[in-house]
Amino acid sequence: MFSSLPEHFRSYGLKADVRTLLLLRKAMQRDLVKTLGDVHNVLKGIIVKEPTDIGPFTKAYYAYFLHIPIKPGETLEDAIKRSETFQKWKTKFVEEADREYDDEELTNLFLDEVHLTSYDIKEVISGKEIWDKDNPDLEDKDPQAEEGEIPERQLDKMADYSELSLEELLERMEKVREQQKTRHGGGSHWIGTGGISPYGHGGAAKNGIRVGGQGGGKMARKVMGDKHYFPIDKDATLNDNNVDAALASIKGVIQESNTEKLDVPQTIKSGIKRGGLFIPELSSEKNEELKVIVLIDNGGYSMAPYVRSVQNLFRKMKTRFAHDLEVYYFHNTIYDRVYVDERRTKAISMEKLLSHSKDYRVFIMGDAAMAPYEITQGSVDSLKAIPKKFKKTVWLNPEPIKYWPHTYTIQLIKQLIPMFPLTPAGIERAVRSMNNKSTEG
């Protein structure tokens, strides 16, 4: 391990030899190196003898451990931004992030992750001791998740689960998952965030299991992305906590979509065998091609509370369906045009929208709440035309379903287009409705 390290650092004008390697290995044997940031600090203490060594050391370290070469006159931040290492990290981070980040924020987050050290973690706790004292059958009665956002916690403690086997962790995690009903953070028992539990993300659990999200310090021995390990309220209006479950339901459009077609040769063949009794024979074809149109109501005060969550879902959909997703915007209801930009300045006609292939799945997202006079005959015609052309069309409404009966325009629109609540459970039902087999002749 690291056998080429001394030669590499010498090529940058630094003093490094076999003793450098021996000292690094001794630090690792003494358990002084737990993170990549620890490697940086230990090597810096061994190699850097003068202030003038800091620049060459930084270049050598980033090139050797992170494959980020720093060109003459180039800042560290610029070198990071153009590197393949950062681009791969950024792609994964952005896909799982719960909001938009600019390049400067992403660079700082990358540096924080790369340089997380044991010095930031002031106390290392035995994961085995936590494990022995923990009750896997503990009932979930913590009201914390119902009180809103769980505060972020600084990683000042770390639990080391190295003494436990992966099989033991997975078995215990399954027991905990069966009991867990709400979201948790900062603890040592539940599948949560920001704590020292052996399962979750964003915490400090060495040799634990990362479940979704971002790691706290690259300490996990296994990473799981299964949405079923996140106990969420599937009937709650779409929010940052359940958007991944909603996305998983939308993904089901491609996993389950089928079309039944009349099998003419088989119908004739069977009819002859029956002595002239011809009964239509249907054949089922699975459709693996996914084409999605999303129409978003992004105007007015009534949609304001839901815009962030809808945008978050849309952003993740765009990542998942990068080549098969088209997004348009409207305000309150759809008239003779929709817009290709969020400011609603560039329009396309309904005729052009309806010229798309009938195979598109259409998701309309809006609260359908407006003054009755806004539902003109032109709007009604457009709302009828969309599901007539695109058989798999649904309206997803963020307004709590208990208020629907009291809003005239919601009652009107839901008669024209199948309407479901904008919740993970509602989206799941909407997708199931889309996937109902249709017969083509």
pLDDT along the chain (441 residues), means of 10: 86 90 82 77 85 85 91 85 89 72 83 67 64 78 44 55 72 77 70 68 62 50 44 58 61 51 66 60 57 83 71 68 76 93 90 93 91 92 96 91 91 95 85 67 42
pLDDT in tens, 232-261: 455 666 665 565 656 666 655 554 444 555
For residue 298, the model assigns a pLDDT of 81
The torsion angles phi and psi of 199, rounded to 5 degrees, stand at -135, 135
For residue 208, the model assigns a pLDDT of 67
For residue 149, the model assigns a pLDDT of 41
Token pair listed for 364: 């309309």
For residue 98, the model assigns a pLDDT of 60
For residue 330, the model assigns a pLDDT of 92
Rounded Cα gap, residues 205 and 81, in angstroms: 29
For residue 391, the model assigns a pLDDT of 92
Query: What is this structure's pTM?
Result: 0.46
For residue 156, the model assigns a pLDDT of 56
CA 432, 182, 116: angle at the middle one, nearest 5? 105
Element spanning 254, H or E: helix 243-256
Q: Is the sign of the CA dihedral 404, 407, 409, 412 positive or negative?
A: positive
For residue 426, the model assigns a pLDDT of 86
Token pair listed for 119: 């010095």
pLDDT in tens, 389-426: 999 999 999 888 888 998 999 999 999 999 999 887 88
Q: Can you point out the beta strands (E) in 263-310?
A: 282-286, 292-297
Token pair listed for 358: 């009938």
Token pair listed for 89: 């990290």
